[in-house]
Structure 1
Amino acid sequence: MPLSEHHVRASVAVSDIHRAVAFYEGRLGLPVLRSGPSAAIAGGSRIYGSGGGPALNVYQSATAGQTRATLATWYVDDLDQIVDELTAAGVEFARYEGFGQDAKGIGPRAGGGRIAWFQDPDGNTFAVESDV
């Protein structure tokens, strides 16, 4: 059976699972579907749900925050509303020179639509985007 017939999740390394829990659950409001160990760390991982199913594996690791690339993107209908809600919850949106972002941190997306980026406490980058 080819991989295209299976669900996929993003995996995100964090340096401190307790700090990550405060961010992913507290600020982003993601529900925990399961928790477990991460290597030798009891309770060092979480699987978070989004869109009706498992979406993110978050685990404590020494390799946390070592990529600047966007790790996962949420596709939303009302980008302004989501950005406002996340900002109210304490999420700070990244600003990148030359991307034409507005005061909220929303900018044009390549190929049309709009996008905004934010980071977790380890510097892992995520995006929310919409087609309008």
Structure 2
Amino acid sequence: MLANQKLKAFVPTVKPNEAKLFYKDILGLKLLSEDNFALEFDANGTLLRITTVREFKPHPFTILGWNVNNIVSVIKQLNDKNIFCERYDFFEQDSLGIWISPNGSKVAWFKDPDGNVLSLTE
């Protein structure tokens, strides 16, 4: 039924101005539209809607993530923009915040201005 339809992703924000700068200027997503309800970005063909909400408490788990070819390079680019990976005490991470999963994938997490957890996976 929906297998051939385009996916749209939603992320909540109580800080739309900061979210706009973060997703557009730091992450480099193309801003498609904005109004009093949401910002919409093109995330490599997926529509990402950053929805303005009145109240929000971020969850401790990943809500949005990207598969990347070179996680170290992406993290260093984020670090150059003062975005640093989260550190967790329940598994081992390297100096950049990269955890190697049991299947060998490299994973790291960072947060947007609202505290939403975002991830990178190589």
Q: Could you tell me the TM-score, scaled by structure 1's length?
A: 0.84
Residue 27 (structure 2) pairs with residue 35 (structure 1): no
| Deviations 1:95-118, CA, capped at 9 Å, x for gaps | 111321111111112432100000
Q: Supply the RMSD in Å over aligned alpha carbons.
A: 1.5
SS in 2 for 1:121: coil
Percent identity of equivalent pairs: 26
Out of 73-82 and 91-100, give the one that drifted further.
Answer: 91-100
Q: Is the 8 A contact 2:9 2:46 kept in 1?
A: no
Aligned match for 1:54, one of 46, 54, 58: 46
Structure 2 spans left out of the alignment, 5+ residues = none
Structure 1 spans left out of the alignment, 5+ residues = 39-44
Size of the alignment, in residue pairs? 122
SS in 2 for 1:3: coil
Q: Is the 8 A contact 1:13 1:63 kept in 2?
A: no
TM-fit CA distance, 1:54 = 3.0
What letter corresponds to residue 36 of structure 1 in structure 2?
Answer: D
SS in 1 for 2:90: coil
Following superposition, which runs of at least 4 residues in structure 1 exceed 4 angstroms of deviation? none
What letter corresponds to residue 8 of structure 1 in structure 2?
Answer: L
SS in 2 for 1:10: strand
Partner residue in 1 for 2:109: 117
Out of 61-70 and 27-36, give the one that drifted further.
Answer: 61-70
Could you tell me how far apart the structure 1 residues matched to 2:58 and 2:90 are?
23
Could you tell me how far apart the structure 1 residues matched to 2:92 and 2:47 are?
30
TM-fit CA distance, 1:82 = 0.6
Partner residue in 2 for 1:98: 90
